[in-house]
Amino acid sequence: MIFELIFAIKCLQTFAVSGGESLCDVDASIQSQPAHKTRYVMIDALRENESLWNLFTRKEEYNPPALDIHRRFPYYLSKHRDVLEPSVSEFLIRNGLEVEYPGGKRFAVCLTHDVDVVYFSRFQLSYEAARSLRRGQLRKSLAVALHRFSKKINPLWNFEQIMNLERKYDAKSSFYFLALERDDQDFNFKLENMKDQMRDIIDSGWEVGLHGGHQAYNNLDVIKREKERLERIVGREVAGYRNHYLRFEVPATWELLKEAGFKYDATFGYADCVGFRNGMCHPFKPFNLNTNEYIDILEIPLAIMDCTLDGYMRLDWEDAWEIARRLICTVERYKGVLTILWHNTSMSGKELEFYEKILECCCRKGAWMTSGEKIWEWWVNRE
């Protein structure tokens, strides 16, 4: 098995001399666990703990009393309120789950970007151009107004900029592209026009995955069609998936994604609240309560989405940072994987500053910041 065993240690070197500022309280009982090996154990021990097993399998989502307007199971309907604590992961770690990251990294951060939009709609265009003008940003306002004429001035054609930012922190990430056709809901760009850009992303060592459209999450034909469309254009198999609007049905979506040939999914998180939807801050094989079997796909659960913080949760950026910092520290404590979704449309102003703050903090803590595909490769090779 071959991993990326050589990881740039620039971050560690940079911060080793900074005095090792402690950003989190450390749980001594967890820190004193023996050196971490590379096998995933103990998940079956969960079955003996009914409440944790029900949380892990998301039993309450099998017959939900209601769904939100996008037909999602929202946090506000969940009986499990303690979403910021990964109680299932904690149980597993305390009962023998051993995790070791490449290069001796302490925990992992799975960085992801959903690409819904690369052109402003007419409404957004007027709004953005006017907002930049109001702020005296004449150049930006012009760039917004003329963005369709050149990729170089299009603020949403920012893939190189995102990769350069992540490069600064020795990070890589996944870009999940919508693969829609003109008549599909939320169609914004022709995938064919993204071909060179997607090749650049892949050639640079980042990942291109599928961002399934509105209708994909419960329709195998649609998932397969979109996957084939994307694979035809990038010329390679696509491993990773996230559904648009985080639409997801437990356990059906996992079964369909496995059937379509995906290696992993990164959809499974709440849109209306950050945290750990099934108490896990580690990747896991989902369990289907209907068939009484595990599903052969890896879930890398989503913990933080940009618009959850300032949109759904209505946090100001200061409070948002407090909660993000808490989640980072929690995942560090349990040696887990923190999955972050930051849209390419959130890469300016306060949102960009916030994203960079996450990168800086996780880099300082010695996290392995990488794409979903790299997390999947590492996880399956250690089983």
> Footprint of Zn ion on this chain (CB under 5 A)?
114, 116, 244
210: closest CA among 271, 161, 158, 253?
Answer: 253
Among candidates 121, 145, 141, which has minimal Cα distance to 132?
141
Q: At 125, list the tokens.
A: 């265009």
Cβ at position 349, least distance to Zn ion in Å: 20
Choice between 244 and 365, CB closer to Zn ion: 244
Cβ 315 to Zn ion, closest distance in Å? Answer: 21
**Sign for the pseudo-dihedral over CA of 24, 373, 74, 255:** negative
Q: CA geometry: angle at 339 spanning 293 and 56, to 5°?
A: 30
Q: Phi and psi at residue 373, in whole multiples of 5°?
A: -65, -40
CA distance 360 to 11: 9
- 114 or 306, CB closer to Zn ion? 114
| Helix/strand/coil percentages in the chain, nearest 5 | 45, 10, 45
Cβ atoms 75, 83 nearer than 8 A: yes
Q: How far is the CB of 294 from Zn ion (least distance, A)?
A: 28
Q: Could you give phi then psi for residue 369, rounded to 5 degrees? A: -105, 115
Closer residue to Zn ion, CB minimum distance, 211 or 335: 211
Tell the residue number behind the tokens 């051993």, with chain if given: 98
Least distance from C-beta 116 to Zn ion, angstroms? Answer: 4
**Closer residue to Zn ion in complex, CB, 90/114:** 114
- On whether the CB atoms of residues 194 and 344 are closer than 8 A, the answer is no
Residue with smaller CB distance to Zn ion, 116 or 306: 116
Q: With respect to Zn ion, which residue has the nearer C-beta, 300 or 329?
A: 300
- Nearest approach, Cβ of residue 283 and Zn ion (Å): 21
CB of 323 to Zn ion, least distance (A): 22
Which residue has the closest beta carbon to Zn ion?
244
